[in-house]
Structure 1
Amino acid sequence: MSSLFIEYDDATGPLQLQLVLLRRMEDHHPDLVDDALHRLDVPRAVMREANRKWQGRLRAGGRRRPAGIKDYGALLGPAESVVPRALGDLQCEVHTWPVPLWPELRFEVTVAPGVGTALNAWLVRAPGAAGPELRTLDDLAPWAATVDEVARAFPPAKPMEGTADNRFRLAFSGPDKSGQQRRCTAEFAWGLLQRWEIA
């Protein structure tokens, strides 16, 4: 193993999670990822190695499987909080962890008790943290809002299938700066807004 990875090889917790999140976001905004890596004082190659190890864990045994709460727990340690949440008739548990790169956010994993597979895993606004003021489409800046925040700001929003793992899309209508309503599609990576376009 190259000496580049030795310093980071045994690291777990928020750093490794952040690197996995950033690798998916790099597809949309390499400039923002560069800035984030600089703040974390981590080389880009280490980010890619962290993602490779995460993907390797999910492909262990020769089959791709969805991440489960044990995977996230092994990476992050004990959750900051675990609370019950009903999704229709299904009683679930929601596990959350802090994310130092985005202190106003939390990483949230929803699981059905006894199943272990994550039903959802993404970034959400931390309790008590002020979210962005989303009045027009011009307010939709990259990394500024979560899925729930965009959906609440521009109802009714329709969930759409993402273009890759850990991507999510919303179809909605919102006013441009002149007040004209535009039909749009927004794309998120790990629950954080990456881009939007006129549909």
Structure 2
Amino acid sequence: MAFGVRAFELALMHRMRDLNPARVEDALADMGATRAELREAHTLWTRTAYAVRAPKGAGRFRMALGRPAFEGERPIGSLTCDVVRWALPYWPGLEFELLIGPGGEVWNQWFVRPSGDRALSFAGLVPWECVVADVGASFPDAVQEEGAAPHHWAVSFRHSGATYRARFIYGLLQRVDPATRG
């Protein structure tokens, strides 16, 4: 398997199976991909992370995804970080973003809406169409939280008197659950 955009999308979907396996199965059918191809993409991507001769930092992503759709800088506190984004065909209207620290290390990697966050209704919280910032823009009391595994993220918010938890992988909405107490 040559590692390119399709394989990268499949590698992302491998992690997304943690929270949304049915959506991943639908995506595999849409792409004409198999579960074996999904596993192989994940294995190859993971292997490059630890390969001595493979590029590190953003170079690893450039190797797989080619020229970015956007390159710029973002001030964060007293630091200025590099920002690099790629458009991925399976998620139109969103881009996969890297936030790169001053030493070249990837500090964050997730999907963003390059046109800016979008305010949505509760019914508009559709898996694989929303990013973390969309929930923040839609629900003023939203609180971002760490997720339960690498690349997982959560946002708790209230709607119609109830508390919900939006769960994300790579910043892409996977599902919205009623919050459990205690």
TM-score, structure 2 normalization: 0.87
In structure 1, distance between residues paired with 2:155 and 2:90: 25
In structure 2, distance between residues paired with 1:102 and 1:35: 14
Displacement of 1:166 in angstroms is 0.9
- 1:56-103 per-residue CA deviation (whole Å, 9 max, x = no partner) reads 222346xxxxx7212212221221210111112210111011110111
Residue in structure 2 matched with residue 116 of structure 1 by the alignment: 104
Q: Which residue of 82, 103, 114 corresponds with 2:92?
A: 103
Aligned residue for 1:93, secondary structure, equals strand
In structure 2, distance between residues paired with 1:184 and 1:29: 17
Amino acid in the other structure paired with 2:110: W
Q: Which residue of 2, 9, 19 corresponds with 1:10?
A: 2
Displacement of 1:104 in angstroms is 1.2
Structure 1 residues 143-154: aligned runs within 5 Å: 143-154=128-139
In structure 2, distance between residues paired with 1:47 and 1:91: 36
Amino acid in the other structure paired with 1:183: T
Displacement of 1:55 in angstroms is 1.4
Residue in structure 2 matched with residue 64 of structure 1 by the alignment: none
Runs of 5+ consecutive residues of structure 1 not aligned to the other structure:
1-8, 62-66
Residue in structure 2 matched with residue 155 of structure 1 by the alignment: 140
Larger radius of gyration: 1
1:183 has 2:169 as partner: no
In structure 2, distance between residues paired with 1:154 and 1:141: 15
Aligned residue for 1:50, secondary structure, equals helix
Distance 1:20 1:192, change over 3 A: same
Larger CA deviation: 50-59 vs 93-102:
50-59
Runs of 5+ consecutive residues of structure 2 not aligned to the other structure:
none
Residue in structure 1 matched with residue 121 of structure 2 by the alignment: 135
Aligned length: 176
Q: Is the 8 A contact 1:70 1:116 kept in 2?
A: no
In structure 2, distance between residues paired with 1:184 and 1:20: 28
Aligned residue for 1:163, secondary structure, equals coil
Q: Is the 8 A contact 2:3 2:41 kept in 1?
A: no
Q: Quote the sequence identity (%).
A: 34
Q: Is the 8 A contact 2:13 2:24 kept in 1?
A: yes
Amino acid in the other structure paired with 1:116: G
